[in-house]
Copies of this chain bind each other. A is one copy, B any other.
């Protein structure tokens, strides 16, 4: 399993009239978690795109247990539990607040796509090499 933690602070723009993070904005936090977890492996999502590899999200599931509030410093935990063997990759993600309370649980499924061909692709070799050491 591969796991990485990163932090974001809740912006005023992201909180709604209930004074909590709008339910759709967790998708951005999860994105930050995935991008930074790849960066920690030496993989730049931006460079993947420049190589013609796209990673569209095909499924998102979120459970909201407790609210994140304006100015909270959140910890995003991102896990890859299974080494991808085809065009699919699944990220399991959790968000905790500074008191260590679990706020949100998410599952995000993405497809590797060849942007030029517009077809599903397998995980890039570079990424397989970086990730596989965590699955021995």
A62 and B63 contacting across the interface, CB-CB below 8 Å: no
- Counted per complex, copies of this chain come to 4
Q: Within A1-40, which residues are at the interface with B (CB < 8 Å)?
A: 11-13, 15-20, 22-28, 31-32, 35
Q: At the interface, yes or no: A41 with Cβ under 8 Å from chain B?
A: no
Please tell me the size bucket of the interface on A. Answer: 35 or more
Q: List 15 A-B contacts (CB under 8 A).
A: A11-B32, A12-B22, A12-B45, A15-B17, A17-B49, A18-B56, A23-B27, A23-B60, A24-B25, A35-B71, A46-B70, A56-B64, A56-B67, A58-B64, A61-B62
For the complex with contacts A12-B16, A12-B45, A23-B60, 17 further pairs of A-B residues with Cβ separation under 8 Å are A11-B28, A11-B32, A12-B31, A13-B22, A13-B24, A13-B31, A15-B16, A23-B57, A24-B26, A24-B27, A46-B71, A56-B64, A57-B64, A60-B60, A60-B61, A60-B62, A61-B61
Taking beta carbons and an 8 Å cutoff, which residues of A are in contact with B?
11-13, 15-20, 22-28, 31-32, 35, 44-46, 49, 54, 56-64, 67, 70-71
